Structure 1
Amino acid sequence: MFDGIQRRVVSLWFPRLASDRVLRQRPIEGPFALTLKQKNANRIYCLNTAATQQGLYKGMPYADARAFCPNLQSQMAQPEQDQRFLQRLRRWATRYCPWVGLEGADGLVMDVTGSAHLFGGEAAMLTDIRMRLMRAGISAQIGLADTRGAAWALAHYGEGVAPSGEALAALTALPVAALRIEDNISITLQRLGLRSIGDLAGAARGPLTRRFGPSLLLRLDQALGTQPEEISPHAEPPHYAARMTLPEPIGLLSDVMAGVERLLVQLCAKLKTHEVGARGLCITLRRVDQERQQVDLRLARPLRDPQRILPLFERGLGEIDAGFGIDQLRLEATQVEALSVQQISHVADGGKDKLDDLISRLGTRIGLENIQRFLPADSHIPERSFITAPTAYSEPASGWSTPQPRPICLFAPEPIAGHGSQPPKRFRWRRIPFTTGRATGPERIMPEWWLEDDNWRSGMRDYWRVETTQGRRLWLFYTPQNPGWFVQGEFA
């Protein structure tokens, strides 16, 4: 509260935030709902007005909703996209006041103390908010009061304005659920005959505290203004970008690289301040004819060292058509990640840095996802004992734990002629005759019964390491249930 000024709070509730977001991009006539898997069932997550008029409601099983409303159109909900949309609404709401915070997953709270007169008064400001949201296709319910709790109650249950100093009079007729209390407490209060906020305010406080604890009366006091409740504005996330406008157009690659170097120094200093590194960068070059060209760079590891990043831009910038000259450069970190603090040492070890830079250079040509490494997997089946993962988005394993050596080359089993449980003395593989010089084994591997794999339906396998007199070191196995010999790998 400012000195001599009564605090005023606006609560905005968007009851159909998720469906409004989708329908703004792709309008649909008739009933529409978003669904989400909850409690092992596909349920209604959010729905439009037409669906509500058909008797559908939030949390209803989707199968029941289709039975009630056969013409219902639907798609899967994306709660993370809804939260990004709510963040954009929060930034939009700062046009009315600087103090705007989030109110749950579908609302905003605004401290408009001292700013309503800039829009012609409270009534004119609320009308402007409502009309702008309506034109944007967003349904909202608005409450205005002296306290955050009273404004929330009016937005959700009354949608109105509580005159200054008259919070109790505005809230008297509203149900006790408007105090932001738990559902079980609200149901118990109604069973006791305390159905409205007015009934609760007139009841004895001692028995209520003993029965429900201090939280119930705290919510009541916050709504009536006898207990303070702060509004914390949501901090803007840091924006990692730097821009340079040139007095004269440039066109030489060396000049462009010099400009990018200056921007990198500024950007990396900001990254250092927030202890993050850039994983993706984008340089935008504006020509004198207002044409813009972009060069994107994806890094194998988050970096904030200008000297390591700058050479990685050279290939992309060399393909830019400068036209009649470039007069503006803009560098932005499109993806950032936390960068752990590193111990400073007098021993220089740049081997890993050089490998990361090499992966970044190759990734600009063939894509970072196409540079992969092998990682161990928790399985004793040879084909399932490893996985492949992009090198840029994984760390090498500290060590492979295998009971017996494994061949460096593994392929699908290839049958060979042989009899008995001992490796054949002579056999032909890939049209080449071989003679067994030494055999080591067997190593028995049982199938993983919980997985369906046609290659292991023959049962267990006995693996042998066979050194041939021709110099080849092969990995053979024998299947006792269905007698047969196969080659599956070759050692280096």
Structure 2
Amino acid sequence: MFNGIRKRVISMWFPRLASDRILRVRAVDGPFALTLKTDNANRLYCLNARADRQGLHRGMSYSDARAFCPDLQSAPADLLADTRFLHTLRRWAVRYCPWVGIEGDDGLVLDITGSAHLFAGEDRMLADIRQRLMRAGISVRLGLADTRGAAWALSHHGEGVGEPGNPLAALANLPVAALRLEQGTVTALQRLGLRTIGNIEETERAPLARRFGPALLRRLDQAMGRQPEEVSPLADPVHYGVRMTLPEPIGLVDDVTGVTERLLERLCAKLIRNEAGVRILNLTLYRVDQGAHTVELRLARPLCDVQRILSLFARGISEVDAGFGIDQMRLEAVEVAHLPPEQVSHVSSDRQNQLDDLISRIGTRIGLENVQRFLPVESHIPERAFAIVPAVLKSQPGGWAVERPRPVRLFPPEPIVGQGNLPPDSFRWRRMPFTTARRTGPERIAPEWWLDDDNWCAGIRDYWKVETWQGRRLWLFYTPQNPGWYVQGEFA
């Protein structure tokens, strides 16, 4: 009780959250289930109503489900997408009350104390929630009671409204599983003949505490309102956007740069507080003639430094058509990444910062994805030992390392004349004669059988590093299964 207002809580349970998320976008006429690999077996994770009516159930192996229901349609589950969808529903539920929390991985809990009258009563509020969710193609079961535990029990095992001030009346006939107990505790209670919440409420507390510990009585007291259980709403994500309305229109580049700097100071202060850096920025300039111009800045690495970001904005701001003047500016961080604090000292070098800023400047002209670099790949095969990726991607620590050096230049194998399994003493390559001065090897590389590569289907290769009297350092290999010598690379 608070100021004469009794606490009321709604529990929303979405029994088919994952499948509803898929089917509301792509409808399926027939049994449908999402599958998830568990314990090295593909099992059913979430089913629609028609699959339930066919006798399928969650946790059933997919092969057994197909045997029972040959026309079953399926798709792999995406747990991360389901979590994002649940958080989207949480933001939607804020329209009913400000206190909305997440309940497990498929439910919400709302503290509607003092909010029901805005919807003409609790019944009207529940009807509105159900109607809107049904229109969106989302199955829901609702429970309303004085406590969070009682509301959860009603939504999962009864779906109803508890009488204010008397939770036992609504919970007495519900099974003991409605108290949110572990399955082992539920089974043990049923073996003792305690099958409903009413049975537990009528039993002496001391024997229950000795046998099942404090968890059972805590859940019972929470459901009955004897022990508080608060609803903890999730904090809204930080919004990295700032704006400024100008008293007089501006149009000079210096004025626009000055306002941008003030906006960056406010934005970067928020980024620093949250240990974050921005990767993509949008600066929108609104003109007095209702037109707008957006300057996008993509950074090679997350930044929260005002002056470095401002200098990278210079080119985009200089190309803006101010028209009759700009009276409002808005700066938004479109993509933000975690940026932990860094140790700085008087001996630190800013070469990396200069390189990142150069990549950012070039990227504003041709696109960051077109500035590329090489990264090592976990493969012994020379042609597969590297990948060309955007320069903004950094190599991971502890990446692929090759014990033997690799040539700077790599090209398709070119045959040369040679006999035996040792590099020839003299040979011709690209119409030039060469004499071997020193040879190092061999390094045997076998094909990767799990990859389909026509160039490596012939078998193993023995690689040699050959230094010639002519000054060229070549990378040769010999194929024992089909005797022959080839040149594939050249060292610096």
TM-score, reference length from structure 2: 0.88
CA distance in structure 1 between the partners assigned to 2:67 and 2:325 by the alignment:
64
Q: Which runs of 5+ in 2 are unaligned?
A: none
Instruction: Give the corresponding residue for 2:351.
Output: 351
Instruction: Give the corresponding residue for 1:335.
Output: 335
Alignment of 1:221-370 (within 5 A): 221-318=221-318, 320=320, 322=322, 325-347=325-347, 349-370=349-370
Note the C-alpha offset of 1:104. 0.8
Note the C-alpha offset of 1:359. 1.5
Q: In the alignment, residue 478 of structure 1 is paired with which amino acid?
A: Y
Alignment of 1:118-133 (within 5 A): 118-133=118-133
Q: Is the 8 A contact 1:375 1:397 kept in 2?
A: no
CA distance in structure 1 between the partners assigned to 2:339 and 2:289 by the alignment:
39
CA distance in structure 2 between the partners assigned to 1:138 and 1:402 by the alignment:
53
CA distance in structure 1 between the partners assigned to 2:250 and 2:35 by the alignment:
54
CA distance in structure 1 between the partners assigned to 2:286 and 2:157 by the alignment:
52
Q: In the alignment, residue 57 of structure 1 is paired with which amino acid?
A: H
Instruction: Give the corresponding residue for 1:111.
Output: 111
Note the C-alpha offset of 1:415. 1.6
Q: Is the 8 A contact 1:12 1:107 kept in 2?
A: yes
Q: 1:152 to 1:396 in 2, by over 3 A?
A: closer
CA distance in structure 2 between the partners assigned to 1:308 and 1:323 by the alignment:
28
Q: Is the 8 A contact 1:373 1:390 kept in 2?
A: yes
Q: Which runs of 5+ in 1 are unaligned?
A: none
Q: Is the 8 A contact 2:415 2:486 kept in 1?
A: yes
For each residue in 1:431-471, what CA deviation from the matched residue of structure 2 results, as whole angstroms up to 9, or x when unmatched? x2222141222233242676556555555544333233443
Q: 1:401 to 1:149 in 2, by over 3 A?
A: closer
CA distance in structure 2 between the partners assigned to 1:317 and 1:414 by the alignment:
53
Instruction: Give the corresponding residue for 2:434.
Output: 435
Alignment of 1:51-450 (within 5 A): 51-66=51-66, 68-69=68-69, 72-318=72-318, 320=320, 322=322, 325-347=325-347, 349-377=349-377, 380-395=380-395, 402-430=402-430, 432-447=431-446
Q: In the alignment, residue 163 of structure 1 is paired with which amino acid?
A: E
Q: 1:448 to 1:227 in 2, by over 3 A?
A: farther
Q: Is the 8 A contact 1:286 1:329 kept in 2?
A: yes
Instruction: Give the corresponding residue for 2:466.
Output: 466
Instruction: Give the corresponding residue for 1:484.
Output: 484
For each residue in 1:37-79, what CA deviation from the matched residue of structure 2 results, as whole angstroms up to 9, or x when unmatched? 4444444333333443444433344455455555555444333
CA distance in structure 2 between the partners assigned to 1:275 and 1:247 by the alignment:
33
CA distance in structure 2 between the partners assigned to 1:461 and 1:52 by the alignment:
57
For each residue in 1:292-311, what CA deviation from the matched residue of structure 2 results, as whole angstroms up to 9, or x when unmatched? 44333221111011211123
Choose 463-472 or 191-200, whichever is displaced more.
463-472
CA distance in structure 2 between the partners assigned to 1:33 and 1:449 by the alignment:
37
Choose 393-402 or 292-301, whichever is displaced more.
393-402
Q: Is the 8 A contact 1:428 1:434 kept in 2?
A: yes
Q: In the alignment, residue 353 of structure 2 is paired with which amino acid?
A: D
Choose 162-171 or 282-291, whichever is displaced more.
282-291
Note the C-alpha offset of 1:116. 2.7
TM-score, reference length from structure 1: 0.88
Q: 1:456 to 1:202 in 2, by over 3 A?
A: same
CA distance in structure 2 between the partners assigned to 1:303 and 1:48 by the alignment:
46
Q: 1:51 to 1:481 in 2, by over 3 A?
A: closer
Query: Aligned-residue CA RMSD in angstroms?
Result: 3.0
For each residue in 1:322-369, what CA deviation from the matched residue of structure 2 results, as whole angstroms up to 9, or x when unmatched? 555544322111221221212232335221100111112222334333
Q: In the alignment, residue 357 of structure 2 is paired with which amino acid?
A: D
CA distance in structure 1 between the partners assigned to 2:421 and 2:380 by the alignment:
22
Choose 91-100 or 244-253, whichever is displaced more.
244-253
Q: Is the 8 A contact 2:377 2:400 kept in 1?
A: no
Choose 394-403 or 360-369, whichever is displaced more.
394-403
Q: 1:19 to 1:199 in 2, by over 3 A?
A: same
Secondary structure at the residue paired with 1:81? helix
Q: In the alignment, residue 146 of structure 1 is paired with which amino acid?
A: D
Note the C-alpha offset of 1:209. 3.3
Q: 1:34 to 1:368 in 2, by over 3 A?
A: same
Q: Is the 8 A contact 1:380 1:445 kept in 2?
A: no
Q: Is the 8 A contact 2:146 2:162 kept in 1?
A: yes
Q: 1:177 to 1:451 in 2, by over 3 A?
A: same
Q: Is the 8 A contact 1:434 1:469 kept in 2?
A: no
Q: In the alignment, residue 427 of structure 1 is paired with which amino acid?
A: F
Identical aligned residues as a percent:
64
Choose 119-128 or 444-453, whichever is displaced more.
444-453
Secondary structure at the residue paired with 1:331? strand
Q: Is the 8 A contact 1:368 1:390 kept in 2?
A: yes
For each residue in 1:119-164, what CA deviation from the matched residue of structure 2 results, as whole angstroms up to 9, or x when unmatched? 3333333233333333433332211112111110011111111112
Secondary structure at the residue paired with 2:124? helix
Q: 1:88 to 1:444 in 2, by over 3 A?
A: closer
Q: Is the 8 A contact 1:374 1:386 kept in 2?
A: yes
Choose 432-441 or 316-325, whichever is displaced more.
316-325
Secondary structure at the residue paired with 1:298? strand
Secondary structure at the residue paired with 2:104? coil
Q: Is the 8 A contact 2:413 2:486 kept in 1?
A: yes
Q: Is the 8 A contact 1:375 1:396 kept in 2?
A: no
CA distance in structure 2 between the partners assigned to 1:79 and 1:292 by the alignment:
39
